[in-house]
Amino acid sequence: MDKSQHTDYQSRTFPVREDMPYQLKVWRFERWGWYALVVVVLMALLGLFSRGPLSVREAQSFDRKITVHYEIFHRNGSTNPMKIVVNGQESAPVALELSGDFFDGFSIESMQPEPVKVVSAGQGIRLWLQTDPQGQATLYLMLRGDGLGGYSSRVSGPSSPPLILTQYILP
Amino acid sequence: MDSVLRAAAMYVALMILFKIAGRRSLAELTTFDFVLLMIIGEATQQALLGDDFSLTNSIVVIVTLIALDVGFSLLKRRSSIVSRLIDGEPTILVENGKILQERLRHARLIEADLMEAARSSQGIETVEEIKFAILERNGKISVIRREDN
């Protein structure tokens, strides 16, 4: 239907003064806006705003001694879990260091199990976990995003090269 | 600082989102629409205050919102372009008993919406009795009855 010919698209002057070309632009904006809303919903479902398949990551050090399960996208004020699995000697303390921008952007709400010892080390902390008879120790952290933007954290063991994790906190 | 930024961002975001939703979203419709608007209000409040429920934060947020609102209304007075952009313009939907179907389609309305407005405001029974039905800027449909000759 040719818009310029159809009488519906002609601007009336009584009882209100209309501007149909402008109104058509407004309606077009509404339609495209609706498509944008759908895209935002899909992105959120996929996890691009935290908590979803695209946000969950697993990183492993080269020597496979440290494995970290974490979320790339976080929201300011909201909490997300992080799981760190460390391999070391059986039934002995194994050291783990969290440094980099980690504590600039996040605060640790909870840490399970309680580490054997925790000390501050440079920009971050160093902690010792007791391994099980198989030589594995798992640390469950609940992180709260307090900052904004990108943060590069380092997770390292005594002999392993550091794992660099990049995380983003959304407002 | 963050209170003002949150309030300003929320104000602008809501303005854009309600523009996308269209004029009818602001007029009270069914009970469900009313509840939906209340839920949106609740979600907005959470984002504005966060976990800071101090008096200072509340007042700063409210002051920011009112300042922005007054600022925009002053801007609307000075510029008709801004006024049209923010508030929109009324659109005629029924003219002399005839429904302008293309306009109804664009406005995402159905004939039942028109007749409901006609019945509740003017006690009108059929479309033929309507001289003009206008979708106002605030989303309400105002109906002018046809005079009998």
Q: A-chain residues within 8 Å CB-CB of B100?
A: 7-8
What value does the mean pLDDT of chain A take?
A: 90
Q: Do A33 and B100 touch (CB under 8 A)?
A: no
- Residue spans of alpha helices (H) in B79-133: 80-87, 101-106, 111-122
pLDDT tens string, chain B, 149 residues long: the values are 889 999 999 999 999 999 998 887 767 678 888 888 899 999 998 888 888 889 999 999 999 999 999 999 999 999 989 999 888 899 999 999 999 999 999 999 999 989 999 999 989 999 999 999 999 998 899 999 988 76
**What's the token pair of residue A60?**
């492993």
Bridge partners (DSSP) listed for residue A70: A57
How much is the average pLDDT of A49-75?
A: 91
Residue A122 in this model has a pLDDT that exceeds 90: no
- The whole-number average pLDDT for the span A127-151 is 93
CA B138/CA A86 separation, integer angstroms: 61
Q: What is the mean pLDDT of residues A139-167?
A: 91
In the prediction, which pLDDT does B148 show? 75
Helix ranges (H only) for A11-122 are: 20-46, 102-105
Nearest by Cα to A124 from A106, A111, A112: A106
Which chain B residues are closer than 8 Å to A171 by Cβ?
Answer: 9
- Residue B149's pLDDT is 60
Q: Do A19 and B89 touch (CB under 8 A)?
A: yes
| Closest Cβ opposite residue B102 in set A6, A15, A29 | A6
Comparing CB atoms, the residue among B84, B107, B132 nearest residue A15 is B132
For chain A, give the percent of residues with pLDDT over 90: 72
Inter-chain CB proximity B103 and A8 less than 8 Å: yes
User: Residue B104 and residue A27: Cα distance in Å, rounded?
Assistant: 11
| A-B contacts (CB, under 8 Å) | 49
Q: Which residues of B touch A39 (CB under 8 A)?
A: none
Mean confidence (pLDDT) of chain B = 90
> Per-residue pLDDT tens for B54-66?
999 999 999 999 9
Contact (CB<8Å) A19/B132: no
